[in-house]
A and B are shown apart, each in its own frame.
Chain A
């Protein structure tokens, strides 16, 4: 067993800060000034459950950065978990400081690799559980074999005051395979957390994700996709529902390297109190990646005077004959619709909850995994204080 690592003095110097353009709205460097001790190891397995618990799927628990529990020897057919002691460095490490930190500091095991090989297991749950006030890093590889369809339901479950949590996922989707990733991020208000997914796609594959988050003290959910074109398709969605002083940053970078690729993005957010939502979406279409079809939408509602939304959609296009569309709106709740609902008898708070839930419902409706979609819907209703499921 390797000694756990938290955040050392040397690590501090590598934390991204507002001096880095990609982190200007999510400054970790100025927030974390001192080294943080490693998070304590859990003495016992985390109880089964979590937000996707009711779906009764194979469950892998990573607690404070360590593989805590998984149904060893009893995994559903077609699912494999391996513990890997000598991992390669992450491919994108140079660009992504948090991924580099995670790769350097993850231990016990340095990386777990979850593989969907086809068969009865078409979905699995991975729970990243954080407790206490230390720092921890986790690294997980996810492999979907060629032709296999799979869903990864991922939860971040925080308890305690001010932990620092950093996760790296490297995802490989084989030729003709598909992966849908639904991520429910439930960090504590005092925590700092980052999660980076690096996604590599083969031709004719598809990758879809939906990040659902209620924010943290400072939080980044980042996804970087190497898009080969070749009739592969990508959907990157997100929902952030923030109140109090929460901060959530959803950042995506999709690099189209080959012809005939499609990317479709829709992120919606609702910000109340003094919360801050950040959306950065970048689509790069490299020279030769002709006939790329890319769509990006980000729409946010600000419900309070002191809420803030920062958005940066970027399309960098170096190819011909492509179709790229993007839309970005930030506004208040539609007063006319609010009056209409109240005129029908809905008290103001209920009317707002109903309208905001409907607003983000458009994103949640795009989740294909039925069970996960219902979990997401209930989560949104609960976050928004809605009286009814829509």
Chain B
């Protein structure tokens, strides 16, 4: 099986406390998998372990992206290999206009891959198109990234960054949280437009609602730090009806 992302028996701890306890997951190229689970199951920890955040200590197992050991790379190197995380709580970056941040990030990734910098006109054209698609006022991009933006605007900014950076592996961490139904539709349309044979996505969510808009190929239940069940989209509906109790949510 040709997996883009391969996670094998992953153990990870935060402040010495084990959070992931033998998580195994195969995500083939072109597929969208949902990770669902109760609070405290390790969903966000998984996203931070995959992206290399400090403080998230891998104590066992392996993670490869297209066969390359992801855990040996720093966060920036992982990003330039095509790993993108849409943050549950996007950071505010005072003093750095969104456009500048995006151009700097894109060019840093291109440089790391040995590609030439993108020319300013081409960059602006690209951003204008994607911003229009996500109904983001272009003028907003001249302001400091996420400073004073609403929750919905921040999530749209995340998807805009994803569209510009065109990752191979996109991890969406609770992208639906804090979105009203219109914003959810815009964000989901933006994500769906990026589905393709060379791109895989991990959609982390607590609620089934998002999966009405972003239809997953598979649904995994994460409980107590490992995958407790895997199924098709119908599993999400079942979880919505029955809750996470049978996966031992209370213990988490």
Report A's interface with B, CB cutoff 8 A.
Answer: 334-337, 339-348, 350-351, 354-355, 357-359, 361-362, 387-388, 390
Q: Nearest-CB distance from A297 to chain B (Å)?
A: 14
**A342 in contact with B75 (CB, 8 Å):** yes
**A344 in contact with B93 (CB, 8 Å):** no
Contacts of A334 in B (CB 8 A): 91
In chain B between 87 and 107, which residues have their CB closer than 8 angstroms to a CB of chain A?
A: 87, 90-97, 100-101, 103-106
**B76 in contact with A390 (CB, 8 Å):** no
In the bound complex, CA of A250 to CA of B161 (Å) = 40
**What number of residue pairs across chains A and B have CB atoms under 8 A from each other?**
83
In chain B between 79 and 128, which residues have their CB closer than 8 angstroms to a CB of chain A?
A: 79-80, 84-85, 87, 90-97, 100-101, 103-106, 108-109, 112
**B74 in contact with A342 (CB, 8 Å):** yes
In the bound complex, CA of A340 to CA of B108 (Å) = 14
- 3 pairs of A and B residues whose beta carbons are closest in the complex: A358-B95, A344-B105, A345-B109
Report B's interface with A, CB cutoff 8 A.
Answer: 51-54, 74-76, 78-80, 84-85, 87, 90-97, 100-101, 103-106, 108-109, 112, 144, 161, 165
Contacts of A359 in B (CB 8 A): 94-95
Q: Nearest-CB distance from A282 to chain B (Å)?
A: 28
From known contacts A354-B96, A388-B100, A388-B104, infer whether A342 and B79 are also in contact, taking CB-CB under 8 Å: yes
**B76 in contact with A347 (CB, 8 Å):** yes
Contacts of B95 in A (CB 8 A): 357-359, 361-362, 390
Contacts of A355 in B (CB 8 A): 93, 96
**B112 in contact with A348 (CB, 8 Å):** no
Contacts of B80 in A (CB 8 A): 345
From known contacts A339-B75, A351-B76, infer whether A346 and B93 are also in contact, taking CB-CB under 8 Å: no
- 14 more A-B residue pairs beyond the given contacts A340-B93, A344-B161, A354-B104, with a C-beta to C-beta distance below 8 A: A334-B91, A336-B91, A340-B90, A341-B101, A342-B52, A342-B74, A342-B75, A344-B108, A347-B108, A347-B112, A351-B76, A358-B93, A362-B95, A388-B104
In the bound complex, CA of A355 to CA of B76 (Å) = 15
**B112 in contact with A344 (CB, 8 Å):** no
Residue of A with least CB distance to B89: A336
28 A–B contacts from the bound complex (CB under 8 Å) = A334-B91, A337-B92, A337-B93, A339-B53, A339-B75, A341-B93, A343-B51, A343-B53, A343-B79, A343-B84, A343-B85, A343-B87, A344-B105, A344-B108, A344-B161, A345-B76, A345-B105, A345-B106, A345-B109, A345-B112, A346-B76, A346-B105, A346-B108, A350-B104, A350-B108, A355-B96, A357-B95, A359-B95
Residue of A with least CB distance to B85: A343
